[in-house]
Chains A and B, each alone.
Chain A
Amino acid sequence: MLRARFAVLVAVACLLPATARASVDASYLAELIERSRELRLADAPQWRRLLHYQERWFRPGSASGADTPSFFLAPSGRSDPQAELNATLAAFFRAAPEDASREPAQCAFIARRHWLDGQLGFDPARLPPQPCPRFRAWYAELDPRGVTFVFPEAFLNNPSSMFGHTLLRLDTAAGEGRHDLIAWAINFAGAAGTDGGPAYMLKGLFGFYPGYYSIGPYYEKVKEYGDWESRDIWEYRLDLRPAETRLMLMHLWELQGISFDYFYFDENCSWQLLGLLEVARPSLRMTDRFPLWVIPADSLRAAVEEAGLLGEAVYRPSSTTQLRDAVRQLSREERDLALRVSTGELEPGAGEIAALPTRRRAAVLTVAYDQLRRELLAGEVERAETAARSRAILIERSRVDVHGSALTPVAVPRVPPHEGHRSARVALGAGWEDHRAFIELRARPSLHDLLDPQGGYTRGAEVQFLETALRWYPQDDQLRLHELVALDLQSLTTWDRFFRPLSWRFDTGLRSRLIPLAGRSGLDPEGVFRTHAGAGIALALPRDATLYGFAEATLDAGPSLDHDVAFGPGAALGLLFGSEADRWRAHAFAQATRFALGDRTTWVRAGAEQRLTLGRNHALELETVYERDFGRSWARVGLSWNLYF
C-alpha cells in the first residue's frame, strides 16, 4: 500500500512541470489520483464519452476519435484513459497555463472538471476552483432554454446530404414568444474543402476528412436547407433538463477547434450529436445502437425514443414546397397571370391584375414574387435584370389590403420522419425466371426506395446503399450472389410550368445478367459489374401518380461478355402510383437499351412491381417482368415478404 502511494507520488511529480511543482498540493493530487483508480473512473462511461474513447477495431484497448493534440493533456492521452485522467487532474492544479492565450485547464476542460468534481468531491481549499469568465460569457451569450433536434430531409443533389442531416438548435425561450430563427445552431460537419461528388463520398467513407463542430445562427441553416436546397426541415424539441443542457454545452466548449475523424456512415454528424446528448444525460445509451453505421433518420428515432420529446414535431416546409403548394391553390388563369408577372411580360399593376378580387390579387402577386425569388436562388435569372421587378411586385402587393397570406398554409405531412418505416430491410422471396425456380434472400442496410411506404421520406427520392441479394436455384442446387448494388439513387421531381427540375437516376454494382455461354443451349445467369445513369423529366398526374421518361446509358463489364464489356444508350418510361392511405404502391415500367459497343445486343424489359404494406414494418412485394436479351425472351415472377427493422 505504502509502496503504491509512493509510486503515485513519483508519477505525480513527473506530471507537474518544474515551475508549478512548488505551488501545487502534490499530496492532494496523489490522493485524487488514487481515489480515481479505486473508483475506476478512467473506465467510467462518462469519462469515455468526454474523451470520445471507443474500443479499437483491430487491437485491444481504446482510442479517442478526437484528432487534435491539444485535446489531450497526457502525451499518451489519445489511447490511455487513465494517463489522461491523471494528467487532467494534475493540470487542474495549475491556475495559469504557460501559454497565456490559453485558458487554465479547469476552464478549457470544464465538463471534465464538472464530472470529476462530482465523482471525487474536490476540496476547494486544496484545489481552488477557477472562475472561467470566458466560458461564462460564452454561455450567457448562448443562453439556452431548450434543445431542439433538427432534421433537414434528404437532398439527393449533394452526396453529403443524401441521407439527410441532423443538427441541434439551442432555443431562445421555453414557450411562446420564442424566436427560432435567431436561436443558435450547433452543427457537426466534415471539412471537405473543395472536394465534391465521388471524391467526397470515397474519402468520407474512409475517414479522410476532419470533422468540426461549429455554432452559428439558425437562420443561416434555414436559408441553406430551406431556400437553397429545397429541403423540408423537421424540428423536434427534446425533453432535456436545464442542468443536462448546461452539461452538454460545457462539453461543446471543450470541443472548440477540435477535429474528429469524420466517416460518412459511422462517425458522422448524427453519431456526434447522439454522443453530445449522451454527455448531457449519462443514462442514455444511443451510440451503442449503431455499431456499424448511423444515418440521420435513425439517429432521429433514437433521440426521440430515448431523450424524449416535448410536444409535436414542427414542420418547416422549404420555400419550394411552399411555392408548389401555393401554385396548386391558383386557378389556371391565375397561374398564367403570376407567371407573366414574374417574367416581366405583365406589369404587376396591369389592368388584368387589378381586375382580380382583392384576395386573389394578393395571392397572384406573392406567387409571382416567390417564383422570381426561386429562379434567382437557383441561378436561373440574374439579379441585375430582376431586382427592379422584384421590388415592383412587392410594392404592388403592399398596396393590396390583405394582411398575411391569402392562401392556406402548407399542410403538415401526415407521417413525420421519425414515424416512417425503419430504414434497413430484409426480404425473403421465391420466384421463377427463365424456366428456373429460385429462392431469394435480399438485404439493404438503408434507406428507401420508391415502393417503400412514402410517409416520413422525401417524395420521389430513392437512396439505397449496398442492396445485396443471394439466390438459390434448387434445380441446379446452386447458390449465387445475385446482386450487390453499391449505390442506387433516383430523384424524381415533377416538372410543370413553374418548375423545370431535372429528374435523374444512377446505380452501380454487381448484377446478374442472363448471357448465352459457348457450348450451352440457353442463357445462364452471369455476374456483370453494371453502372447505369439516366436523366429525364417527371410529370405529376392526378391522384398523386408520377410519370417519368429518361434517356439513359448502361455500361456492363464482366468476363462472360464478348470483349468483356457492353455499353450503349437506352430509354425508359415509367409510371409510379400508390393508394391514398399509402398502403399499396406500384411501379409499371418499360426500358430498352441498345448495347452498341462490346457485346452488341438489344435488351428490353417491361413489367410491374407492387408492394403492399402490412403493418408498419412488413410488406409483401409482387414482381412480374418480361425481358428480352441476346435474341431470347423470358419472364420473371417473384413474390417476397419484406421486413423493415
Chain B
Amino acid sequence: MKRLLLVACLLLAPAGAALADPDIGCGPGTSVWQGSKGVMPKVLGATTNGSFGFQTFGISFGTLGCHQGGTVTADARLRMFAGANLDRLAREMAVGEGEVLATFAHLKGVAEPDRPAFYAFSKAHFAEIFSGDDVTENEVLGSLDRLLANDAQLAVYAKS
C-alpha cells in the first residue's frame, strides 16, 4: 500500500511539487561518500527492475507529503540533485569537468559563457566547498555560495 501511494505521488507530483519549501531539500541532507547502505545484495537481489531507485527517491517525497501543491523552486531542485549525486559532484568538481557538474551548473543558473570560469572556480576551491568528510549537500551549497559571493565574475550566482 505504501508503495502504491508512493507511485501515485510520484506520478501526481513529479518534480516535487512536494518540495515547495526550499529549505527542506532532502530532509536532514545526504552525507557525501555515503556508500551502499541498503543497496540490493549483489547476488540474487530482491528488487525488481526499477522500483529501487525511485523508491529511495520517494522516501523524501513521503516525508515531505506529496499532497502539497505549488511549483518546485529551482533551489529545491538543485538541492535534491546535489544530494542525490554528491559523490560524483565532488569528483567532477575536483577534476573540473563532467555531466553531473554541468547539470549542477545549469540548475544553479550559471550562464553558458561563465561555465568554464565556474568549473575552474569550484576546482580551485574544492577543499573549502567540501569542507569536511561528513558534509551534506546543504553545507556544500552554503560554502559554495559564501565563496562565490567574494568572486568578482561569479558573485551573481551566489544565493544571498
Q: Which of A18-26, A211-219, A574-582 contacts B (4 or more CB under 8 A)?
A: A211-219
B97, A403: Cβ atoms closer than 8 Å: yes
B144 within 8 A of A: no
A131 within 8 A of B: no
Which A residues from 189 to 215 make CB contacts under 8 A with B? 189-192, 194-197, 200, 204, 209, 212-215
With A395-B127, A404-B96 as contacts: A191 and B36 at CB distance below 8 Å: no
B34 within 8 A of A: yes
Contact of B90 among A134, A194, A200, A394 (CB under 8 A): A394
With A377-B39, A388-B133, A395-B126 as contacts: A219 and B33 at CB distance below 8 Å: no
B123 within 8 A of A: yes
Which B residues from 49 to 96 make CB contacts under 8 A with A? 49-54, 56-58, 71-72, 77, 80-81, 84-85, 87, 90-91, 93-96
Contact of A394 among B54, B72, B94, B97 (CB under 8 A): B94
Contact of B51 among A189, A195, A403 (CB under 8 A): A189
A182, B133: Cβ atoms closer than 8 Å: no
Which A residues from 495 to 537 make CB contacts under 8 A with B? 502
Which residues in A have their C-beta under 8 angstroms from that of B39?
Answer: 228, 377, 379
0/1 interface trace, chain B 6-26, chain A, CB 8 Å (1 if under): 011011111101000000000
CA distance A204 to B91 in the complex (A): 39
B11, A390: Cβ atoms closer than 8 Å: no
Q: How far is the CB of A387 from chain B (nearest CB, A)?
A: 4
Contact of B10 among A216, A390, A395 (CB under 8 A): A216
A157 within 8 A of B: yes
A390, B133: Cβ atoms closer than 8 Å: yes
B103, A387: Cβ atoms closer than 8 Å: no
With A179-B103, A397-B95, A403-B119 as contacts: A159 and B44 at CB distance below 8 Å: yes
A382, B35: Cβ atoms closer than 8 Å: yes
With A179-B106, A214-B7, A397-B95 as contacts: A160 and B47 at CB distance below 8 Å: yes
Number of interface residues of A (CB under 8 A): 76
A76 within 8 A of B: no
CA distance A423 to B83 in the complex (A): 40
Closest A residue to B8 by beta carbon equals: A257
A179, B102: Cβ atoms closer than 8 Å: yes
0/1 interface trace, chain A 137-166, chain B, CB 8 Å (1 if under): 110011000000000000001111100010
CA distance A560 to B119 in the complex (A): 72
CA distance A341 to B92 in the complex (A): 19
Most chain A CB inside 10 Å of its own CB: which residue of B4, B7, B81, B130: B7
B43 within 8 A of A: yes
A405 within 8 A of B: yes
Which B residues from 91 to 112 make CB contacts under 8 A with A? 91, 93-97, 99-100, 102-103, 106-107, 112
Closest A residue to B78 by beta carbon equals: A182
B8, A223: Cβ atoms closer than 8 Å: no
B32 within 8 A of A: yes
B50, A157: Cβ atoms closer than 8 Å: no
CA distance A502 to B3 in the complex (A): 33
Give the A-B pair count, Cβ closer than 8 A.
216
With A181-B99, A269-B49, A377-B39 as contacts: A403 and B120 at CB distance below 8 Å: yes
A366 within 8 A of B: yes
A82 within 8 A of B: no
B48 within 8 A of A: yes
B134 within 8 A of A: yes
Which residues in A have their C-beta under 8 angstroms from that of B134?
Answer: 387
Contact of B7 among A134, A182, A257, A391 (CB under 8 A): A257
Which residues in B have their C-beta under 8 angstroms from that of A188?
Answer: 50
Contact of B8 among A200, A256, A378 (CB under 8 A): A256
A216, B54: Cβ atoms closer than 8 Å: yes
B124 within 8 A of A: yes
With A388-B133, A391-B133, A405-B97 as contacts: A192 and B44 at CB distance below 8 Å: no
B133, A387: Cβ atoms closer than 8 Å: yes
CA distance A159 to B45 in the complex (A): 8
Closest A residue to B80 by beta carbon equals: A217
Most chain A CB inside 10 Å of its own CB: which residue of B8, B96, B119, B120: B96
B152 within 8 A of A: no
Q: How far is the CB of A270 from chain B (nearest CB, A)?
A: 10
A220 within 8 A of B: yes
A165, B50: Cβ atoms closer than 8 Å: yes
Which residues in A have their C-beta under 8 angstroms from that of B81?
Answer: 181-182, 217, 219
Contact of A269 among B10, B31, B50, B95 (CB under 8 A): B50
B12, A138: Cβ atoms closer than 8 Å: yes
B48, A200: Cβ atoms closer than 8 Å: yes
Which residues in B have their C-beta under 8 angstroms from that of A361?
Answer: none
With A196-B45, A228-B40, A403-B123 as contacts: A387 and B11 at CB distance below 8 Å: no
CA distance A248 to B69 in the complex (A): 24
B14, A191: Cβ atoms closer than 8 Å: no
Which residues in B have their C-beta under 8 angstroms from that of A395?
Answer: 94, 126-127, 130
19 extra A-B contacts, CB within 8 A, seeds A158-B44, A403-B96: A138-B12, A181-B81, A182-B81, A212-B3, A213-B11, A216-B10, A257-B7, A376-B33, A376-B35, A376-B36, A379-B39, A383-B31, A383-B34, A387-B133, A387-B134, A390-B133, A391-B32, A395-B130, A397-B95
Q: List 22 A-B contacts (CB under 8 A).
A: A134-B12, A137-B17, A138-B12, A184-B14, A187-B51, A189-B48, A213-B7, A214-B50, A217-B57, A219-B84, A220-B84, A256-B7, A269-B49, A376-B35, A378-B42, A383-B31, A383-B34, A391-B33, A391-B130, A394-B130, A398-B96, A404-B95
